[in-house]
Structure 1
């Protein structure tokens, strides 16, 4: 928590260029390093899938021997990759939001922008918690019944690791939403104190 919030600039022209959100600041507790690492892991996973798909294509066309389980691994991997990279997408401000409205307001009504950001992040936190709670039972059931994709005797891959990655990604994203909301509220309080002074 050593990271400090950006201070409002004295010059109005310089202050207009400063974003009124938490996306340009590191997350507390070094969480930005964790989400960046998860994003990098997702990128490496994508590269591995590309290699696997190309090997399958070459194997089918040149040798007549396809790589078994490519379709199943790709379908599982897409879900895992999305949730691995979800937290970093939020941290860098690339989550879906009304940028046109917020970009206008942050220059004219920065306190309102902070309040809208805090509301957005709080709702996002609540949504992630709901999805997280709903995803717990499928993980437990997947482990219990030994759920897999593929066909017996050909290729089988367990489903529970991807479900676990989904829960980890949801947990980290929920934490990011909560910390961003907290940073927005701190920024809003700092602006209010500045105006009173």
Structure 2
């Protein structure tokens, strides 16, 4: 794993501090979704065992929430240096030729920006279509939930992740640790 990064220092530019605050808020929303799922699944299990009646829509809500949680929490994982990756080569380069390691990390962050830009570009029409058609999951008469809120959370999370990749490049070249 890469060097541990810390919350934004007060000396960092205001846009980076705002980005970090919004990223932290998205992470909290993701954590609240996890807590909500724990309560929901617990209620479903209790309902099945005690009353022979499950909570309607649990599988649908779980599947929708997982996508939202991943995209809301990924930006904080990247900012905190906890995004899964192999650092063997980078660690060695960082010790021997730090400039090459920094250039390689910048290249990787650039690839992240390009990949997330593609996700944002491809997903925007999907969100618009979901909103316009009032797409939902579930069975009419039992349980339905609109899909657009999750698609919106995906776009917000992907946008924050793209901005965190850009912030890593900026911090690296301005000399900020994180």
- Give runs of aligned pairs for residues 154-173 of structure 1, distance below 5 A: 154-173=142-161
Q: 1:98: Cα distance to partner?
A: 2.7
Structure 1 regions of 5+ residues with no counterpart? 1-18, 188-197
Larger Rg: 1
Q: Name 1:141's counterpart in structure 2.
A: 129
Structure 2 residue 88 is the aligned partner of structure 1 residue 100: yes
C-alpha distance in 2 between matches for 1:55 and 1:25: 36
Structure 2 regions of 5+ residues with no counterpart? none
Q: 1:182: Cα distance to partner?
A: 2.0
For residues 60-115 of structure 1, the C-alpha deviation after alignment (integer angstroms, 9 at most, x for no partner) is 11111211111110010000000100100111112233311111111111111111
For residues 13-50 of structure 1, the C-alpha deviation after alignment (integer angstroms, 9 at most, x for no partner) is xxxxxx5x9x4462752122221221122111101101
C-alpha distance in 1 between matches for 2:73 and 2:93: 29
CA contact (8 A) 1:118 1:185 kept: no
> In structure 2, do the counterparts of structure 1 residues 90 and 60 end up closer, same or farther at CA, with 3 Å as the change threshold?
same
Q: Name 2:28's counterpart in structure 1.
A: 40
TM-score by length of 2: 0.88
Deviates more, 1:29-38 or 1:120-129: 29-38
Runs of 4 or more above 4 Å deviation? none
How large is the Cα RMSD of the aligned pairs?
1.6
Q: Count residues with an aligned counterpart.
A: 167
CA contact (8 A) 1:87 1:173 kept: yes
